[in-house]
């Protein structure tokens, strides 16, 4: 680890102080990893991690699928490579965070079954399977009968599927609480508040200053903006944050009745007349059923149409879903960058870093983001494998 040079006459610990703005999964993993590396970390977040239903963070809504294989998209091979790298880190990441926090994060290792509803959906699924094979990802093409042998509650009309045994899931709300606890135990501080401005220079000779809505200014040598799709409300020394567009997702949480067996054993993703839908089971009987994809700005209203679409498509795949008890409905905003890839590491403002734009994959990408951001904070550069995702890369339609 390399320290930065001390500016003269400072009252803060200038070479090691880091303020992380935002307590979603990306801010929290960065804060924990940085604190564990001996940096002096303060995380600023307005919403308590213990009240996920009221929070703005996309991380509190996420289903928690760790599914780089079944999320593969043509043209996003590099991003998928980062996802595969992060997925491979998950086992040891979970062991470490659970030990550090003393609690489980609900890592569910039963794989993912991707199924098709009609012939057109099956054609898309076959193309995806060919892409997975080209990229060297181990998945297995299954007939309709083989799918139903694995998941007996699937509708007989399901046309076929692909089994991705290495695509798992985690409970993001538990993960957030565990990361908060682990960070605290590693010495990180948390301040409840909303950041309005990052200034350069900061107070008391510090390189940067982080102003909160109540007027407090925190001095910092380095600042990480991990604000999901809300960073445009913060005044910065230069326009280094490209537009991060919110992509709304509505989903619902349901559970089987007491004493009933789980509806699905593994994550079931499906294409129904071209619409993606998923059911993600948790060990305690909860099932997450999602999700819409809507580009409506910062609107998080739940709509009858959105929830109907999700339930309609989920029922086509797993008719027994109508028997579940609904426990929560919610909507979150996926933070999408102009090229749909994350923006990580230093900007042209000395000391100011970004960790934003994780779009549909923030939970999956948490371990690798933690690793990348610690490297950026301690050496000033990104690891070789992450250079493509540099925060200061040229982007069409955005500042950088
Ligand atoms: C319906 C849905 C399902 C999803 N499912 C999955 C999935 O299965 N797997 C997966 O990997 N990803 C999934 N995602 C995507 C995932 O949720 C995001 O990529 C990830 O949560 C982004 O994390 P983040 O920390 O960058 O942003 P967020 O979680 O949005 O956190 C940003 C934080 O910054 C705080 N903040 C904002 N402004 C300020 C300010 N001025 N001062 C201080 N703090 C501020 C906010 O309060 C918030 O806590 C899903 C998303 C949605 C909406």
Using one digit for the tens of pLDDT, what is the confidence trace for 228-281? 999 999 999 999 999 999 999 999 999 998 888 899 999 999 999 999 999 999
Q: At what angle do helices 77-101 and 25-36 cross, to 10 degrees?
A: 60
How far, in Å, is the centroid of ligand 1 from the Cα of 228?
5
pLDDT value, residue 81: 92
Q: Tell me if 52 CB under 6 Å of ligand 1.
A: no
pLDDT value, residue 73: 78
Q: Given the DSSP bridges, would you call strands 245-255 and 267-272 parallel, antiparallel or unpaired?
A: unpaired
How far, in Å, is the centroid of ligand 1 from the Cα of 357?
9
Q: How confident is the model at residue 374 (pLDDT cuts 50, 70, 90)?
A: very high
As a dihedral over the C-alpha atoms of residue 210, residue 215, residue 216, residue 221, rounded to 10 degrees, the angle is: 20
Question: What's the rounded Cα separation, in Å, for the pair 84 and 90?
Answer: 10
Q: Tell me if 83 CB under 6 Å of ligand 1.
A: no
How far, in Å, is the centroid of ligand 1 from the Cα of 338?
17
Instruction: Give the closest residue (by CA) to ligand 1 atom 3.
Output: 62
Q: Tell me if 68 CB under 6 Å of ligand 1.
A: no
- Ligand 1 atom with the shortest distance to the CA of 355: 26
Instruction: Give the closest residue (by CA) to ligand 1 atom 21.
Output: 59
pLDDT value, residue 336: 97
Does the pLDDT at position 321 exceed 50? yes
pLDDT value, residue 400: 42
Does the pLDDT at position 302 exceed 70? yes
> What are the structural domains, with CATH classification, of the chain?
17-60+173-244+338-389 (3.50.50.60), 112-165+245-336 (3.30.9.10)
Q: Given the DSSP bridges, would you call strands 343-346 and 352-356 parallel, antiparallel or unpaired?
A: antiparallel
The pTM score is: 0.95
The arithmetic mean of pLDDT across residues 159-173, rounded, is 96
Q: Tell me if 334 CB under 6 Å of ligand 1.
A: yes
How far, in Å, is the centroid of ligand 1 from the Cα of 3?
30
As a dihedral over the C-alpha atoms of residue 258, residue 264, residue 269, residue 274, rounded to 10 degrees, the angle is: -80
How far, in Å, is the centroid of ligand 1 from the Cα of 356?
9
Question: What's the rounded Cα separation, in Å, for the pair 238 and 223?
Answer: 14
Q: How confident is the model at residue 50 (pLDDT cuts 50, 70, 90)?
A: confident
The arithmetic mean of pLDDT across residues 156-170, rounded, is 96
Q: Given the DSSP bridges, would you call strands 140-143 and 17-21 parallel, antiparallel or unpaired?
A: unpaired
Burial of 205 (0-12, 13-18, 19+ CB in 10 A): middle
Contact 51, 192 (CB under 8 A): no
């Amino acid at each position: 680890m390399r320290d930065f040079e001390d500016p003269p006459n400072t009252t803060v610990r200038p070479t090691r102080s880091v303020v992380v703005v935002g307590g979603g999964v990306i801010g929290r993993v960065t804060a924990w990893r940085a604190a564990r590396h001996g940096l002096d970390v303060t995380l600023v977040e307005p919403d308590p991690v213990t009240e996920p239903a009221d929070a703005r963070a996309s991380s509190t809504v996420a289903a928690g699928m760790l599914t780089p294989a079944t999320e593969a998209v043509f043209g996003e091979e590099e991003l998928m490579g980062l996802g595969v790298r992060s997925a491979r880190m998950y086992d040891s990441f979970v062991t470490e965070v659970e030990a550090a926090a003393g609690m489980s994060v609900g890592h569910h290792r039963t794989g993912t079954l991707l199924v098709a509803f009609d012939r057109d959906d099956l054609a898309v699924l076959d193309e995806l399977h060919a892409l997975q094979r080209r990229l060297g990802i181990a998945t297995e093409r299954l007939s309709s009968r083989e799918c139903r042998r694995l998941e007996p509650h699937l509708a007989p009309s399901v046309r076929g599927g692909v089994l991705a045994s290495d695509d798992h899931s985690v409970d993001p709300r538990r993960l957030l609480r565990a990361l908060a606890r682990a960070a605290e135990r590693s010495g990180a501080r948390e301040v409840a508040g909303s950041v309005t401005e990052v200034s350069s220079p900061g107070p008391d000779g510090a390189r940067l200053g982080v102003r909160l809505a109540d007027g407090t200014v925190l001095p910092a040598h380095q600042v990480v903006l991990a604000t999901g799709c809300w960073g445009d409300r913060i005044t910065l020394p230069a326009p280094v944050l490209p537009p991060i567009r919110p992509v709304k997702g509505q989903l619902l949480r349901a559970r089987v009745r007491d004493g009933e067996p789980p509806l699905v054993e593994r994550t079931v993703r499906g294409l129904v007349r071209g619409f993606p839908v998923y059911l993600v089971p948790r060990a305690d009987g909860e099932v997450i059923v999602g999700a819409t994809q809507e580009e409506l700005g910062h609107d998080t209203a739940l709509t009858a149409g959105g929830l109907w679409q999700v339930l309609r498509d989920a029922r086509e795949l797993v008719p027994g879903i109508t028997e579940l008890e609904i426990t929560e409905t919610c909507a979150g905003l996926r933070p999408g960058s102009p090229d749909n890839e994350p923006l990580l590491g230093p900007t042209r403002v000395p000391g100011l870093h970004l960790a934003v734009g994780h779009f549909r994959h923030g939970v999956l990408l948490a371990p690798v983001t933690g690793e990348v951001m610690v490297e950026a904070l301690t050496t000033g550069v990104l690891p070789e494998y992450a250079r493509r995702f540099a925060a200061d890369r040229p982007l069409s339609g955005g500042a950088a």
